Structure 1
Amino acid sequence: MQFGIFTVGDRTTDPTDGSTPGEYERIKAMVTIARKAEEVGLDVFATGEHHNPPFVPSSPTTLLGHIAARTERLILSTSTTLITTNDPVKIAEDFAMLQHLADGRVDLMMGRGNTGPVYPWFGQDIRQGIPLAIENYALLHRLWREDVVNWEGRFRTALQGFTSTPRPLDGVPPFVWHGSIRSPEIAEQAAYYGDGFFANHIFWPKEHTAKMVGLYRRRFAHYGHGTPEQAIVGLGGHVFMRRNSQDAVREFRPYFDNAPVYGHGPSLEEYTRETPLTVGSPQEVIDRTMSFREYVGDYQRQLFLVDSGGLPLKTVLEQLDLLGEEVVPVLRKEMESLRPAGVPAGPTHAARVARRDAEAGA
């Protein structure tokens, strides 16, 4: 199983001292966080894609390309690549280029994002969000698998005899996750292609996540990709830790109360009770994370959010130390001991190339 972190790249004011990181500071901090993730033994670093303040990661492949040059084994991914407002041709070329530069340590997560105005900024209509996601990915899927593509659709000009360059590394495209919080159509899309399904698993109760993952698993099997248990599932999660639970709650409360996505609504206690947000000791994070498999089954990737809401970089790096030293080693051992034979491990480029070659030789 793969463990890692994802960032949304927000520049939020720290409510404890009133400071707000500049764009340069926040971008550099994300690089530091990624390198620290590799140092402490995590497997994945993923970045969001946003095109509006207070966020900075408007160009994920630029950021990930820089991180690729400064890491050796970390899988570099996105926690959203906007399939609705990016040109599929540009996605195909950008991520294939990144795949070569990173020696295959690349995958990506397709999503529609959470910022409605991004649609007109890029010349699209938000009312066509689901159709755009479906059509654009159908094209992207072909661009990575066919050397010459002829294409005609609703939302972009036709392609005639087009070849996307560079071609995917070793002839194997980057692995794709389809991320969604609430849309069953996206779970269906992931199942249709036999791709991964990533449930953000932050804002909604566990019952909702269980329904979405269950739908994806059933449809994955329906399309002939394997058993429901063999479907490729990823989960998000938000944690804040101190060795003493009371210290964690006391320190995190002002960040929760003032966070743009959490604040001024339910209390911290209500939110941690009703959603997977976990604020407490490393053991509490272990126990809560282990409980996820009780309602989604054995899964392949767990990504934690640890750097949002104005937390200072020093605190984020301390969170990574706790993840790497006390949480992930236990989770990795326990999850692996429970994983039945036949349930696949997390996707890697090397494993996918080996599988392709084995199937070709069979």
Structure 2
Amino acid sequence: MQFGIFTVGDVTPDPTTGRTPSEHERITAMTTIALKAEEVGLDVFATGEHHNPPFVPSSPTTMLGWIAARTERLILSTSTTLITTNDPVKIAEDFAMLQHLAGGRVDLMLGRGNTGPVYPWFGQDIRQGIPLAIENYALLHRLWREDVVDWEGRFRTPLQGFTSTPRPLDGVPPFVWHGSIRSPEIAEQAAYYGDGFFANNIFWPKEHFQRLISLYRERYAHYGHGTPEQAVVGLGGQIFMRKRSQDAVREFRPYFDNAPVYGHGPSLEQFTAETPLTVGSPQEVIDKTLAFRDYFGDYQRQLFLVDHAGLPLKTVLEQLDMLGEILPVLREEFARDRPADVPDAPTHASLVARRDEPTATEVTR
């Protein structure tokens, strides 16, 4: 089981001070947070991709390359990479380069993006979001697995005898997670390729994500990749902790009430009751996170959002220290009674080992 954090890279005023960090401050804070994630023992750091204010992470591979040079163990990922408005050729090249520089400590989460104005900035139409996601990934999948590609589709110019460079490290592409909030077509796509499916698991009740994950598991088995229980599932989540529950609620409330993604809607109490958001003591975070397995089955990756809504860097680093303190308990409890045939989250090393496993024919020779 992998544990980590993801960021959306928002530049949001701190409602308790009225101060808005500069873009430079926010970018620097994100890299500091990533280094802290490795320090406290987390497995994964993932950054979003946005091309519109008030967000700053427009070049995820640049940021992750910087972090790769300063870490040794942390898996570097995205949350998400826009498969719709990026050229699949550029995704193939950028992430293969990052994979080499990071020694294989790279995977990525693909998503459509839901900000309408961004699509025309990159020559696309949001109404074609699903077809774009399906076609562009079909090309990306081939670019990493075929040395020479001929291609013709609806949304980009044809390719003739094209080779994407550099080739993936050790001939093994980065593992791909397909991220979705609401699209069954994306769950189907992840299942078809035998890739991972990442359920945002933030703004909606658990029943919504149960349906998407159940669909993905069923279709994963349908396509012959394994049993439904062996499908590779990741979940998001949001947490804010203090030693005493009432202190956590008191401190987080102004951030919740004023954040663009929450504010002026359900109360903090309603939101924590009806969604995965946990604001409380470390034990409450442990209990609610462990309950995810009851809803979704055994899964492979848990990422937490901790640095949004204008929270100052000092507070975020304190949150990471507390997350590091409860991490051994989460690891132990998630490992308890975990069936032996449920796989771990893929890593570069495990994918290389799987590729090098002898086939049934070779074993019987």
TM score, norm. by length of structure 1: 0.99
Matches of 1:139 and 1:133, distance apart in 2: 10
Name the SS for the 2:336 alignment partner: helix
Matches of 2:38 and 2:196, distance apart in 1: 23
Q: How does 1:178-257 map to 2 (within 5 A)?
A: 178-257=178-257
Q: Which residue of 1 is the match for residue 20 of structure 2?
A: 20
Q: Which residue of 2 is the match for residue 343 of structure 1?
A: 342
Q: Which residue of 2 is the match for residue 258 of structure 1?
A: 258
User: Within the alignment, does 1:154 sit opposite 2:131 as a pair?
Assistant: no
Query: Which residue type is aligned with residue 298 of structure 1?
Result: D
Query: Which residue type is aligned with residue 356 of structure 2?
Result: D
Matches of 2:188 and 2:254, distance apart in 1: 39
Name the SS for the 1:284 alignment partner: helix
The superposition leaves residues 14-55 of structure 1 with CA deviations (integer Å, 9 ceiling, x where unpaired) of 000001110110101001000000000000000000001110
Query: Which residue type is aligned with residue 170 of structure 1?
Result: D
Q: Which residue of 2 is the match for residue 352 of structure 1?
A: 351
Name the SS for the 1:304 alignment partner: strand
Query: Which residue type is aligned with residue 166 of structure 1?
Result: P
Query: Which residue type is aligned with residue 79 of structure 2?
Result: S
Q: How does 1:36-185 map to 2 (within 5 A)?
A: 36-185=36-185
Q: How does 1:260-275 map to 2 (within 5 A)?
A: 260-275=260-275
The superposition leaves residues 83-112 of structure 1 with CA deviations (integer Å, 9 ceiling, x where unpaired) of 000000000000000000000000000001
Q: Which shifted more, 351-360 or 74-83? A: 351-360
Query: Which residue type is aligned with residue 10 of structure 1?
Result: D
The superposition leaves residues 112-135 of structure 1 with CA deviations (integer Å, 9 ceiling, x where unpaired) of 123111100100011100000000
Matches of 2:26 and 2:272, distance apart in 1: 27
Q: Which runs of 4+ in 1 moved over 3 A?
A: 359-362
User: Within the alignment, does 1:333 sit opposite 2:332 as a pair?
Assistant: yes
User: Within the alignment, does 1:3 sit opposite 2:3 as a pair?
Assistant: yes
Q: How many residue pairs were aligned?
A: 361
CA RMSD of aligned residues (A): 0.7
Matches of 1:168 and 1:295, distance apart in 2: 36
Query: Which residue type is aligned with residue 188 of structure 2?
Result: E
Query: Which residue type is aligned with residue 231 of structure 1?
Result: A
Query: Which residue type is aligned with residue 351 of structure 2?
Result: R
Query: Which residue type is aligned with residue 9 of structure 1?
Result: G
Name the SS for the 1:279 alignment partner: strand
User: Within the alignment, does 1:308 sit opposite 2:308 as a pair?
Assistant: yes
Matches of 2:114 and 2:120, distance apart in 1: 14
Name the SS for the 2:302 alignment partner: strand
Matches of 1:120 and 1:250, distance apart in 2: 42
Query: Which residue type is aligned with residue 229 of structure 2?
Result: E
The superposition leaves residues 219-278 of structure 1 with CA deviations (integer Å, 9 ceiling, x where unpaired) of 000000000000000000000000000000000000000011000000000000000000
Superposition deviation, residue 338 in structure 1: 2.5
Name the SS for the 2:115 alignment partner: coil
The superposition leaves residues 165-207 of structure 1 with CA deviations (integer Å, 9 ceiling, x where unpaired) of 0000000000000000000000000000000000000000000
Superposition deviation, residue 337 in structure 1: 1.5
User: Within the alignment, does 1:318 sit opposite 2:318 as a pair?
Assistant: yes
> Structure 1 vs Structure 2: percent identity of aligned residues?
84
Matches of 2:85 and 2:131, distance apart in 1: 12
Matches of 1:231 and 1:359, distance apart in 2: 22
The superposition leaves residues 286-338 of structure 1 with CA deviations (integer Å, 9 ceiling, x where unpaired) of 0000000111100000000000000000000000000001x211111110122
Matches of 1:173 and 1:227, distance apart in 2: 23
Matches of 2:220 and 2:233, distance apart in 1: 11
Matches of 2:152 and 2:286, distance apart in 1: 49
Name the SS for the 2:76 alignment partner: strand
Matches of 1:32 and 1:122, distance apart in 2: 30
Structure 1: segments with no counterpart, 5+ residues: none
The superposition leaves residues 109-162 of structure 1 with CA deviations (integer Å, 9 ceiling, x where unpaired) of 000123111100100011100000000000000000000000000000000000
Matches of 1:92 and 1:175, distance apart in 2: 12
TM score, norm. by length of structure 2: 0.98
Name the SS for the 1:338 alignment partner: coil
Query: Which residue type is aligned with residue 337 of structure 1?
Result: R
Name the SS for the 2:252 alignment partner: helix
Matches of 2:312 and 2:10, distance apart in 1: 12
